Structure 1
Amino acid sequence: MRRWLSKYRYAIIFWLCFGIFRTSLADWNPIPSGSMRPTLVEGDVVLVNRVAYDLKLPLTDISVAELGNPQRGDVVTFSSPKDGERLIKRIVGIPGDTLQMKDEVLWVNGVPATYQDEQAISEPMGPGQTIPGIKLTELASSSRRTVQFMPAVRAARDFGPVVVPADSYFMLGDNRDNSADSRYIGFVPRRLLIGHAHHILASAKILDNWMPRFSRFGSPIL
């Protein structure tokens, strides 16, 4: 055993350092579903800054130092407060915000979002299946993003008003009618945030022929 450890010590040190790096500093996250369409699509692999908000002990939710505050509009990975599943969504409400949704329109602190650049789309829903949708630019609380709606899909289009508790956040998917977000899983405590997703590392057409989407490589997540 001692001889084996001596022979492979550099490989062991490398993988230990790699594991600490990935669980503490930076990570990558594959996108398996369409809940963040059109911003992120199935087959994207995103880079996640794990120290954007908190420095945590490896493999735990224990924060040893707060390094920054999550902002409205940030796309983040987190553990679901419902079942622990890793999710990726957009922050639309920070502690103290009053949020409401009326017929798909998001209201933040009494101010409705505005929508522009409407575009008709066909949203894939399975092999050989599509459903009509609408893609729009949403401007809310000084943040801007592209979202989409699918009127024919049954979804939670109204909620609130609700007040975001201290040290918690309200998440929505950009694909508003196909996202299991805070409308269903509730507020997300800060301790469950994993990190800030900031760029697309790579992308492939996993629902089709697995060909790479080179145009998405290195793109910032807006």
Structure 2
Amino acid sequence: MDIDFPLILMVATAVTGLIALADKLWFAKQRLARIDELRQQQASSEEVEEAAKEPFIIEQGKSFFPVLAIVFVLRSFIAEPFQIPSGSMEPGLVKGDFILVSKFHYGLRMPVFGNTLVPVGEPERGDVMVFFPPNDPRYFIKRVIGLPGDKIVYRNKQLTINGKAVPTKELGGEPPYNPTKYLAQEQMDAADAEVQWVVGVDRRTNQKVVWAGPEGEWTVPEGSYFMMGDNRGNSHDSRGWGFVPEENIVGKAVAVWMHWENWSDIPGFSRNKWIN
């Protein structure tokens, strides 16, 4: 079962905040009134200290609220860390990369609900974006290929947007970490995307073939985006599950700040870079 951490954080912040507010407006005044009453009755210092003592729930709520509030604001409106869980964005991002996602590049959004509070900017073709796929609570990271209204065609390893072929240069060669891939480069609006295709063998001819993933034609509806992984031959993306609604956007991936693939390994920083 996937844990909805943003919802849990929002609820925890709200609950602890309400506890702190209730104490300030009501319970603290009750304690002070009780202390004054005990002093007028010349009660012992132990009784006064006991009356001044905050209940456990109030003490914990007031202690956790500032921390939760800071984390909530930073995570919801500034930046959030993520770990790349698969190879769908190879060769640029590989499994185990820890990335930083800007939460304000596409406008300040209401946590959990996703609606835009303050518009700042909009996704561009070529941006690497974190989002929720339709009908899936998990975070995904892919590259923005189609904007609202775009006509997308992907056939024979060639990407075409609104009737214009995206300049594509086959680089050949094979990534050292994954020798069963074939590299290419696409010139997008926001960035040049280095993509890779899967190298295989045709069983009928015994000849080398390059698999570039599912093909087809799509028209992006208003308020949605078409996403594809850079690992075109092995990526579960909009070619399979459709378009990403605007309210499902989480943020723009801006940097790799650590690589840590397995818990038994030592974290490394040699892959640190800005994300194109």
TM-score (norm 2): 0.70
Look up the SS of the partner of 2:174 in the other structure. strand
Segments of structure 2 that go 5 or more residues without pairing to the other structure are: 1-52, 201-209
Give yes or no for the alignment of 1:22 onto 2:78: no
| Aligned counterpart, 2:193 | 145
Provide the rounded CA distance (Å) in 1 between the counterparts of 2:98 and 2:190.
27
Contact 2:172 2:183 in 1 (8 A): yes
Look up the SS of the partner of 1:23 in the other structure. helix
Contact 1:120 1:132 in 2 (8 A): no
Higher relative contact order (CA 8 A, sep 6+): 1
Please, which of 55, 69, 86 is the counterpart of residue 33 of structure 1?
86
Provide the aligned length of Structure 1 versus Structure 2: 214
Contact 2:98 2:256 in 1 (8 A): yes
| Aligned counterpart, 1:67 | 120
The structure-2 alpha-carbon separation of the partners of 1:155 and 1:38, relative to structure 1 and needing over 3 Å to count, comes to closer
Provide the rounded CA distance (Å) in 2 between the counterparts of 1:196 and 1:32.
17
State the Cα distance separating 1:187 from its structure 2 match.
0.8
Please, which of 226, 229, 251 is the counterpart of residue 173 of structure 1?
229
Structure 1, residues 167-200: CA drift from partner, whole Å, max 9, x if none?
1110000000111110011011110000011111
Provide the rounded CA distance (Å) in 2 between the counterparts of 1:154 and 1:121.
14
Normalized per residue, the structure richer in strand is 1
State the Cα distance separating 1:74 from its structure 2 match.
0.6
| Aligned counterpart, 2:215 | 158
- Identity score, percent: 32
State the Cα distance separating 1:155 from its structure 2 match.
6.4
The structure-2 alpha-carbon separation of the partners of 1:123 and 1:109, relative to structure 1 and needing over 3 Å to count, comes to farther
Please, which of 145, 154, 159 is the counterpart of residue 92 of structure 1?
145
Provide the rounded CA distance (Å) in 2 between the counterparts of 1:16 and 1:32.
28
| Aligned counterpart, 1:200 | 256
**1:121-140 aligned within 5 A:** 121=174, 132-140=180-188
Provide the rounded CA distance (Å) in 2 between the counterparts of 1:56 and 1:46.
20
